[in-house]
Amino acid sequence: MPQTLPNRSLNWPILWDGVVEIAQSESCRLHAYQDVVGVWTIGWGQTLYVSKGMVWTQPKADQDLCDSLTLITRQVKECLVTLVSPHQLAAMVSLAYNIGMGWEGAKKPKGAKDGFRQSSVLKAHNRGDHAAAARAFALWNKAGGEVIPGLVNRRARESALYLTPGDLARAYWPHEAAPATPDGDGERPLTESPTFRSGAISAATGGLALASSVSNDVQQTAWNLGINPLMVVGVVALVVGAVVVFRRYQQRRGGWA
């Protein structure tokens, strides 16, 4: 009996929410079958090199899905030129897995089918119009020239995944590794941040260097006022370090790691 969800412990390239959407939309069959338009399919919707009579094991089907999503995620990210959140990426990968990546280049090859590269979803996302991108998912609701209720529902779920509230704070550039997800180890305390630590140390060091360069006249004035010049050094270092720490705190609150 095929599983309802693939093995979660595999190295999935997108949020688990996206994997669940794809898996539940595709379902898993370990014996080759023909889909609604007659294409031989197996596993979690795999159609490449599938033929009648083919049989898979569950681990093979799960690994095939993971490998396919890893490839498609890389291809989707190569198409993006603007910030993308983990949920946006997962939604677009789900769409691309279902409709294909489409053709490459400036001119459409003869007989080629449109796919994610030609989609309004991609075009709207790349110009920063997320509302339009979310609406554009609904355009991909046909198979064999006919509107399929299952595709209508799937596109609505993908659109909702794309628009997940609050996720834009975790946006990152497509060429960067995705930030940690709720399925990972979670966010480390601010004091454990390497940037925080190195910034504080650098700030303190810089403050000391700055204070130590105070002129002899200023040092003499400090003595005349009954102030130890070393206290001036300490105050400068403390102030500079506090500024760096505060800025790091602001970055963390803004969602930047």
Hey, what are 11's tokens? Answer: 């190295």
Q: What is the DSSP letter of 48?
A: T
**Number of Cβ within a 10 Å radius of residue 47:** 13
What span, in angstroms and rounded, lies between the C-alpha atoms of 147 and 24?
20
Known catalytic membership, residue 26: yes
Half-sphere exposure of 247 (CA within 13 A, CB side): 11
Q: Active site residue: 26, 104, 158, 176, which one? A: 26
Cα 121 to Cα 134: distance, rounded to the nearest angstrom: 7
Beta carbons of 42 and 29 less than 8 angstroms apart: yes
- The DSSP call for residue 41 is E
Asked whether 172 and 84 are in contact (CB, 8 A), the reply is yes
Residues tagged active-site = 26
